[in-house]
Amino acid sequence: NFFDSRHEEQYELMRNLSRVAKRLGNKVGTEVFINSVSLDPDNDTFERLQEIAKDLDAPEGWCFVRATQNANNELISRMNRLRGYMSRHLVFYGKPGSFWGTFPGRNDPDELADRIARSIPGPRPAQWRRAGPAKRGHEPRPWTAREVV
């Protein structure tokens, strides 16, 4: 994800990403790697990134990256080509040379961890979750705009 620690809304997104990392457990650092890229390298110093990592209880395998503005612009440009748009509220996931996707970083941590776990090669979770319209008497998932049918 891309972030600027001076904007509280993005810090909340990273708190949610921390919850996702906890749900993924020991996969983080072995099968899943999280990279959080600062868009404000002048303010987000190495010391500040260490504070953020400690505050979020970031596990091994979660890297906080600080680069020059030119390097950030190049990465953003590449991600724009990948998905066609850019938002600080999106989390990108995937494997080099393979499938890539995005999800809003404020979604339910269980849903996000499930989505990421399904993109990892190997044994799959036991059952797919319904993605279509919600069943009668059930609330639709917060990430879908579909109505109850």
Q: Which two tokens stand for residue 84?
A: 């066609």
Neighbouring CB atoms inside 10 A of 74's CB total 12
**Torsion of Cα atoms, 110 then 116 then 122 then 125, to 10°:** 30
pLDDT tens-digit series, residues 40-86: 888 889 999 999 999 999 999 899 988 888 888 887 777 765 554 55
Q: What is the pTM of this model?
A: 0.70
CA–CA separation, 133 vs 38, rounded Å? 37
Rg (CA), the chain: 16
131 pLDDT higher than 80:
no
Q: Which two tokens stand for residue 125?
A: 């979770």
pLDDT tens-digit series, residues 77-130: 777 655 545 556 677 776 666 666 777 777 888 888 888 887 777 665 555 555
> Any idea what the Cα angle at residue 107 is, between residues 99 and 21, rounded to 5°?
70
